[in-house]
A and B are shown apart, each in its own frame.
Chain A
Amino acid sequence: MSKSALPDPFQDARNTKGFGTVNDQDDPVTMVLGLKDVRKCAHNWKTFQSGGEEVGRIVVPSEQAIRDTRQIPFEVDPPQHGDYRALVEPWFKRPLEDEYKARLATIIDELLDEVLAMDSVEVVEEFSLKLQSRALTLLLNIPYQEAEVWIGWGTHVFRSDDTALDAGKANILYDYIDQQIEKASNQPGDDLYSVLLASEINGKKLTKEEVKGVMILTFAGGRDTVINAVTNTIAYFAEHPQSLARIKAEPEITGKAVEELVRYFSPLTHMGRVVTEDTQVCEHAQKAQSRISLCWASANRDERVFENANEVVIDRKINPHVAFGFATHNCLGATHARQILHILLTALADKVTAIEILDHTDNIEDWDEFKRKVGFDALTVKFN
């Protein structure tokens, strides 16, 4: 078995009944598995809501027990969602600007030069975590050195080695964000905290709690997802040097390669919704107040839509994947994530001739009937 392959554990259930079931802290979740079903449910925000009263319940595993701050705009539905989204969207589109791209390229080039000089590198801690943290300073527009604090937290915000929901770790993030909000409130600058604190919706200033909600989402949403995507990218190119050679020879396919890698990796397996009325999902009765999840990872391997769904087709031309979600609540950080991967692919093609995998520990998520490899807990390689 190839080390970089991410098998599809959902295939049988997707083709036979269209859904699976996960028991999450005695609050079961019906996982929707087919691409069309996932898209339809994602589009129908009235029946499958994100902004219910119970904060944190749409996340699987549920975070109800460890937070009461509403993540914004993720846990707010239309019409209020549109106001929040319009407020933050221009900021999260900054990765399209030339200056941002150039600064991101510098961060990635420097990090690659660092690891190229080493005999071996543990990619998760020594490359992906650093890259994600350093790149985040650009997204927040704060000093580069701040990345050292987040690198010190390790790869997970809410998880430790023995528990998927670690309230102690979550509190480190919440306390940190509270402090940063206070700092920006006392001494406003041109960072995201200050911009949010100065923002208004319908003539009313955002509260500190609302600012905290945006910031928690920014930290949590883009952390292990980006780390997984970057680590998986390194593993993939280690085993497919010909793909790296193609990107070097045909840089115009880089954008398609990014989309295909994101489809194949699907760094976020699924995201939940709370059902507002008795309904049916894949001909399965679904009660009001129960939960479903939209399984992006399964939808992205739906062979009714994707030819050779379990292969990376590096220049796939039609690629209607849902790795960044779909419809109202699609990923706010997608522009930043795409830019990171685009620049990373360009830099790898430019500087690296071969990557050798020396050791690896798979990261397997346990969703009851489904065991999904989402990436690596550790990956040691030698860059050449």
Chain B
Amino acid sequence: MAKITFITTDNEHIVVEGESGSAMELAVQNGVQGIDGDCGGVCSCATCHVHVAEGDVAKVGPASEIEQDMLELDDNVTERSRLCCQIDVSDELDGIVLHVAG
């Protein structure tokens, strides 16, 4: 079981819990504002953009090349940007914090 905290652009903190699936799916199930996941998680719509908290980057890992190509054209991209549909939930992610990019 992993606890993941989403922080929205309105600074609302939402803690979600899960064992499998993607961080995007957990966010959508829990109504996290700003995470839409329109394409259902196939890296097509870029509506699940997050910035991984500084201390959690190593835990989450880097974006794949295809994901980087998508992020490259996003206005709010930083070196800690990820599409959270591509972040698989596992025990190792327990405690991470993801900021909704907005």
Q: Which residues of A contact B (CB under 8 A)?
A: 36, 39-40, 43, 255-256, 258-259, 305, 316-322, 324, 327, 330, 334-335, 338
Contact = CB atoms under 8 A, between A and B. Distances in A.
B66 A318 contact: yes
Given A305-B66, A335-B38, A338-B38, A318 B73 contact: no
B42 A319 contact: yes
Given A318-B64, A318-B66, A320-B66, A259 B42 contact: yes
Contacts of B42: 255-256, 259, 316-320
B10 interface: no
Nearest to A319: B42
Contacts of B69: 36, 39, 305, 320
A208 to B, nearest CB: 31
B73 A320 contact: no
A259 B73 contact: no
Contact of A334 (B38, B41, B43): B38
Given A36-B69, A330-B45, 11 more contacts: A258-B40, A259-B39, A316-B42, A317-B42, A318-B64, A319-B39, A319-B44, A320-B42, A320-B66, A320-B69, A335-B38
B70 interface: yes
Interface in B68-93: 69-70, 73, 86
A254 to B, nearest CB: 9
A222 to B, nearest CB: 16
From DSSP, what is the main secondary structure of chain A's interface residues? helix
Interface in B1-47: 38-45
Contacts, number: 43
A308 B72 CA distance: 25
Contacts of A322: 44
Contacts of A259: 39-40, 42, 44
Given A36-B69, A305-B66, A320-B66, A255 B44 contact: no
B40 A256 contact: yes
B43 to A, nearest CB: 5
10 contacts: A39-B73, A40-B73, A255-B42, A259-B44, A318-B42, A318-B43, A319-B42, A320-B66, A324-B45, A327-B73
Contact of A255 (B41, B64, B70): B41
A320 B44 contact: yes
A338 B66 CA distance: 22
A154 B9 CA distance: 46
A279 to B, nearest CB: 17
A323 to B, nearest CB: 8
A227 to B, nearest CB: 22
Nearest to B69: A36
Nearest to A258: B40
Nearest to B41: A255
A382 to B, nearest CB: 32
Nearest to A330: B45
The 8 closest A-B pairs by CB, nearest first: A255-B40, A319-B42, A43-B73, A259-B42, A320-B43, A318-B43, A320-B44, A321-B44
B59 to A, nearest CB: 21
Contacts of A40: 73
B29 to A, nearest CB: 12
Contacts of A324: 45
Contacts of B45: 324, 330
